[in-house]
Structures are given as structure tokens and as C-alpha cells.
Homo-oligomer: A and B are copies of this chain.
Amino acid sequence: MNPKKDVTIYDIAKQLNISTSTVSRALQNHPAINKLTKKKVIATAKEIGYQYNTFAGNLRKKSTSIIGVMVHELNSNFITSVLAGIEKVTSEAGYDIIIAHSSESYTKESANALNLFHKRVDGLIASLAYDTKNLDHYLPFHQKGIPVVFFDRVEPSDKSTVVVIDNTKCGYQATKHLIEQGCKRIAHITGNLSRNVYAHRFQGYKKALTEHHLPFDKKLLIVNDLGEEAARNATLQLLRLPSLPDGIFITNDFTAAVVIQTLKENGIVVPDDIAIVGFNNDAISKLIEPKITTINYPGIEMGEIAARQLIANLKGEENVQLTNTIIIRSDLIIRESSLKKHTPLSIASNNNANKK
């Protein structure tokens, strides 16, 4: 298949009548090598079409300078920002990255993890799939001392650093904001509650209700796969309720967009009849009508921090036991979808009158 024989450092060495070690060192810009020699080596390398053989190098060095990145999906602003952040930091540090995506499937995540392990990545940065419930597939990494950093979708682990946002706080903020807008019956549409992000947002939601003496009504909690159809069904389900909710906190903007559309199709006015808060600050949140109030959190920064943490681990600078959890800032962005006309924002947001 590759008929032509590869050009190796032996060929360069022969041509220049020097040893392969000198060639190898020259190619790596080793300080002990004569500048002239380096020049000659590089020149002949180019001349005879030499190409570095990564396998031979990796086999010898027992390290790949590759960092694996496992993501649960690819098509969201958030993930592409995280990837950009990771790429920036890792490439500056001389690492390449390999991206694997699980498409939200535990099985695929597992297979990919094994695959990255066999590819001998030096480290791993991962976000878990929708239905991942254990971390067994990362055991080989731990056993071999390969550092793993989890971000966003995580499980508690004493073996790895996790980089997350404070989802409980976000859920709390989102819900509190709706309460301050005068909402009394706030629904929550979210994903699998065994996944940390959704579990914590739900906790925050409940906390806000409790603090403001609103009852938690389990009919107002809908857990689904967050797809388009599920979002429509969830909305219709809420609309069939004997008494409608007056606010919905939805765990991602895409789902929120579908919900808003379905509500409008059914003659419900957003935010007047039902106020909406989404999550993620995806591009779509600014493009639909009304624009969606949402939680923003910086993907780039999350990626950069995860990568920096991993590289620190790799260099042995950092003790995982010490920095086990890193929390990134996040904030509520208020737009039209949640602003009930009768409660001006400036008053509402500082209003603690509900508290005893």
C-alpha cells in the first residue's frame, strides 16, 4: 500500500557521514549540537524528503505528547468553546489532541476510552455521556498513572480533578429569578437526574422554591432526553395540566427554544402567560422570539483550566489530591423570555420582600 520505502535518519546520517544520534539530536534542536551540523542535517532532511516517524519515537520514548479529549457531543457552542480553550493551552505546551465523541452513549464512551488508552495518550480530558453511570472505563488510566481531568459532566472521583460550574447555584438563580418575576407555579424540564449537572440544577430549583415558600409539585418536573420531540411532548404535557405553570426553567436553550415554539403554537404568550429561563447561552437563545433568559458559562475558560490542570499533573507539578474540584464562574443573562411586564427588572432583582 505504501510501496516506497521511508526515508529515515539513517539515510541522513549516511549521506553526511555522521551518526544517527547526531542526526536525532540535530532534529530535536539539542543544544549540544554544532549549529553548522544542525543546518546540514535539516537541509539534507528536506532534500531527501525525510519525515519523522512518530511510532518509532513514541515506542522509544514511551510517551506520545497526545492528550485525549472525550466529549459527549460536538454540536454546541459550549463544547466547541471548550475545545478551543483546550487546544490553545495544549498546543502552547507542545501537545496534540485527539477528539473522541460519545454521542451521549455510555457504550461508545467506554469503547472510545479504551481506544484512547490503547493509543497511549499521555492524559485525558473528559465530559461524560448522558447515560454514563460509572467510571470503570477510566480505571486503566488511573492504574497506569495517566492523569484524567473531568469537566462539566462529571462524577465525583478522588482520582481526578473535576472542572465544573456551580450547577446548584445556577438552578437556584434561574428559579429565583422566575419567582421574582412573580411566578408561583414553576415547572422544570431537565435531563436524567443521575447526571450531576441535571441533579444539581434540580436541587437549586427546589432550594429556591423552598426558600420562597413555594410547594414542589412533582407534576411540574419533567425529565426527558432533551431532544426535539421530547421537548414538544413535555410542553403538551404541561399544557394538559388542570392549572398551567406560569414559569418554566429548562435545562438547555435548544429545548427551551422548542418549548417556546410549541407554547406559541398553542396560543400561550411568553413571557406573559409563562416565563422561560433556559441554560447555556447558545446562539439560538438570542435568535428566537422572545430572546431567552439563560445561564452563561465560559466554555473557553473551562477548557483552558482543564487543560492547564492536566498539564500540571503531567509535569508532576500538581497534586490531584489537593485540587480536586475547580469551579468556574457562571451568570444569569436576563432577556425577554422571562420578563413579566408588571415587575420591572431593576426592582425585582433586588427584591427580598418574599423572605421572612
**Which residues does A use to contact B, with CB under 8 Å?**
1-4, 6, 51-56, 58-59, 62-63, 73-77, 79-80, 83-84, 96, 98-99, 101, 103, 115, 117-120, 122, 140, 144-146, 228, 254, 257-258, 261, 264, 283-284, 287-289, 314, 316
Contact = CB atoms under 8 A, between A and B. Distances in A.
Q: What 7 A-B pairs have minimum CB-CB distances, sorted nearest first?
A: A55-B59, A55-B55, A75-B80, A55-B58, A257-B287, A99-B99, A74-B74
Contacts of A77: 75
A145 B54 contact: no
A280 to B, nearest CB: 12
Q: How many copies does the complex hold?
A: 2
Contacts of A122: 1
A288 B122 CA distance: 44
Contacts of A101: 83, 99
Contacts of A6: 62
Nearest to A289: B289
A6 B62 CA distance: 10
A264 B288 CA distance: 12
B55 A118 contact: no
Contact of A2 (B56, B118, B144, B287): B144
Contacts of A58: 55
B288 A54 contact: no
